[in-house]
Amino acid sequence: MSKLTINSTLRMNSGYEIPMLGYGVYQTPANICEHVVTKAFEAGYRHVDSAAVYRNEEPSAVAIKRSSIPRSQIFFTSKVPPRGLSYASAAAQVDASLKLTGLEYIDLMLLHAPYGGREARKGAWKALVEAQEAGKIRSIGVSNYGVQHLNEMEVYIKELETERGGEGKGGKIDVGQWEIHPWLPRRDIVEWCEKRGVVVQAYCPIVRGRRMDDPVLQPLVKKHGKTGAQVLIRWSLQKGFVPLPKSVTPSRIVENADVYDFELDAEDMKTLDINAYDPCAWDPTVAGLEE
């Protein structure tokens, strides 16, 4: 990978670029969301990760529109809620998010979780494909899908190609989003995505602050003179992921973006190569196909 900077991007299957460092607004109250997103922009972020269920799409968009940064340089993500998933609900959510935000397009729309059964997932995906074709959203993807759900997607993408009349008519997965950090590396999912050019986003990249005193992490903190959060975000970037650190504290928003003046060497990366399964958030990837 070329030298990482705060302006580093990855090209998605859609052809669009996604900024590698994102700013997450999960659980950010709507009444402070515009302020903290603005602070993130000031710190150099150009990527905001929201969702319908976060109830802060609107203030996130207000910050985007009031910023002096051109809209084309800001990447905005939202997500279709996981409950009541269907073709109709996904199509309606795209329109609702566009109306609520007042944005001309949404850069990325994800299916938030793989619940509802096969027909619900296929229908919701079809709605995203149609919205992408209509220019309402530029890139599409999934969140919290296990390998079993991803393999299923490949089948119904082929089905949609047949049903909708040709190659490419089933859509392509541009992005997948999961909780990923050294204590939850999700190697099977990452390998699946890498083989298909799917960009991997990592939420909870700093493990909600729960590992800052971990004996694996502490020597790297001392070696590089960085915080545990900065080391973990740097790890994510060097793995080729798109980390989505979240904070409402202005100093930490700045700190989490200050990760480009050091590099983890091969030995550091090996130290953080932990084969564990220790999620700090929910994990729909383990759900069965009928859930």
Measured CA to CA, the distance from residue 106 to residue 94 in angstroms comes to 9
Please give the span between the terminal C-alpha atoms of the chain, in angstroms, as a whole number.
39
Is 54 catalytic? The answer is yes
Measured CA to CA, the distance from residue 94 to residue 71 in angstroms comes to 19
Positive or negative torsion for Cα 90, 196, 135, 44: positive
At 17, which helix (H) or strand (E)? strand 17-19
Catalytic residue among 23, 45, 54, 203, which?
A: 54
Where helices occur in the chain by DSSP H, the ranges are 30-43, 57-66, 87-101, 118-133, 147-164, 187-196, 218-224, 228-238, 250-257, 266-271
- DSSP 8-state symbol, 4: P
Nearest CA to 58 among 97, 25, 27?
97
Q: Are 53 and 93 in contact (CB under 8 A)?
A: no
| Catalytic positions, written as ranges | 54
